[in-house]
């Protein structure tokens, strides 16, 4: 399998051979759903087929009979990428906030921290005798 070059990882994080298998099964499911007139499954399989084709770099199929064209799929992908970039920018702005850093490192109770000197002796009998007397 390694020598065939089909075991490489795609941008989506999946292996190429796994995506090819999903594409094959999705086409099979699409044909079965179309024969049984199961509209909800048709949409699901069409979406999976388009995603697999996109991951593999293949031309994206249009499913005009259910209203899923290649152009609408590509616009959805573009919107998803924009949303992910906005979320990443918002997280970066939040984590880079100086007030957050200052608040995180200043703890009002840290000045009064006292270490228990007998912490290591806690599980010995001598330690418990001090409290029972």
Query: Closest Cα partner for 64 from 73, 52, 56?
Result: 73
- With tokens 């499954």, the residue in question is 41
| CB 42 within 8 Å of CB 50 | no
Task: Give the model confidence (pLDDT) of 77-121 as tens digits.
Answer: 888 777 777 776 777 666 655 555 555 555 555 555 555 555 555
pLDDT of residue 77: 80
Cα 40 from Cα 51, distance rounded (Å): 17
Q: Please determine, for residue 132, whether its predicted confidence score (pLDDT) is greater than 70.
A: no
* 126-132 mean pLDDT: 59
Could you tell me how far CA 14 lies from the centroid of its own chain?
12
pLDDT classification of 13: cutoffs 50, 70, 90: confident
* pLDDT > 70 fraction of the chain, expressed in percent and rounded: 62
Helix axes 39-56, 16-35, angle to 10 degrees: 160
Cα 105 from Cα 13, distance rounded (Å): 36
62 phi and psi, to 5 degrees?
-105, 135
pLDDT of residue 78: 81
Task: Give the model confidence (pLDDT) of 14-72 as tens digits.
Answer: 888 899 999 999 999 999 999 999 999 999 999 999 999 999 999 999 998 888 888 88
């Amino acid at each position: 399998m390694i020598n065939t070059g089909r075991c490489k990882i795609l941008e989506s994080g999946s292996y190429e051979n796994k995506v090819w298998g999903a594409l094959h099964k999705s086409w099979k499911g699409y044909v079965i759903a179309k024969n049984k007139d199961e509209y909800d499954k048709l949409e699901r399989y069409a979406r999976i087929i388009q995603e697999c084709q996109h991951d593999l770099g293949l031309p994206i199929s249009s499913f005009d009979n259910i209203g899923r064209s290649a152009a609408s799929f590509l616009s959805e992908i573009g919107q998803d990428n924009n949303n992910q970039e906005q979320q990443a920018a918002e997280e970066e702005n939040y984590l880079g906030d100086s007030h957050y850093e200052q608040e995180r490192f200043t703890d009002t109770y840290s000045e009064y921290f006292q270490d228990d000197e007998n912490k290591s002796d806690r599980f010995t009998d001598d330690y418990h005798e001090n409290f029972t007397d």
